[in-house]
Amino acid sequence: MMTALDMIDAVNEDLRGLFNGYTLPNKAGILQEVKIFSQYMPPPSGIVVAGSKPEYSSSDYEMNFPCIVIKTGEMTDKEEGRLGMTRVSLKLLFGVYAWSESEDDEESRMFKVNAWRDVQSMMDKVRWHWLKDRIIARKFRIEMPFVMKHLDEDTYPLFFGEINTLIEIGRPVRDYDYVYRGLNNS
């Protein structure tokens, strides 16, 4: 089948393969592979006091960044051609944590100044990979537009970017379409 859930799993697997061995510094400055999450980041690992909102701790940032979060949005069925199609909006959120306890050394200052470049590098890597064939897992077609942008809000020390596109997935077809429209080959 070609459901939205199948598409999310295929995108997750494709991104894991693409970023296999690709490392960036985490909050502690240790090179770490890019984490891939489907729909949401893991919940904070800290203890939650009753009535308060859970917040990410320092260890959560070290563990979960750099990352890509795969998010789906609106799903639209359209009648196009003989069978029609379903399009799912797909958003990829890219995140890098650019903070160092040492403000004094040149390397720490340059990492902060250039952290947006790591986000851009990850987005470019996905863009070149996906737009080359416009197919994911041999069954999900990438539709245009394909939009990349950095998030403008000041979220320092976190830097974010996103890719938005549409993915064409399968749609259930009535038996009528095969029998009466001559779509069956028998």
Domains and CATH numbers, the chain: 4-180 (3.30.2000.30)
Query: What's the CA gap between 30 and 78, in Å, rounded?
Result: 47
pLDDT at residue 141 in the model: 93
* Per-residue confidence (pLDDT) for residue 56, from 0 to 100: 79
- 85-96 tens-digit pLDDT: 889 999 999 999
Per-residue pLDDT at 179 exceeds 60: no
The amino acid sitting at 11 is V
Question: How much is the pLDDT for 69?
Answer: 97
Least confident piece of the model among 113-117, 118-122, 142-146: 113-117
pLDDT, residue 80, reads 65
- What pLDDT shows up at residue 156? 78
| Rounded Cα–Cα distance for residues 131 and 139 (Å) | 15
pLDDT score recorded for residue 103: 56
Q: Tell me the range of 3-7, 105-109, 145-149, 156-160 where mean pLDDT is highest.
A: 145-149
The SS3 of residue 173 is coil
- E strand segments, 16-154: 23-25, 31-33, 35-38, 67-78, 85-97, 135-136, 140-150
Question: How confident is the model over 156-175, as a mean pLDDT?
Answer: 86
> For 121-125, what is the mean pLDDT?
97
pLDDT tens digits for range 5-50: 999 999 999 999 999 999 998 877 788 999 999 999 988 876 666 6
Q: Coil, strand, or helix at residue 97?
A: strand
Q: Is the model's pTM score more than 0.85? A: no
Q: Is the pLDDT of residue 106 over 90?
A: no
Residue 25 pLDDT: 82
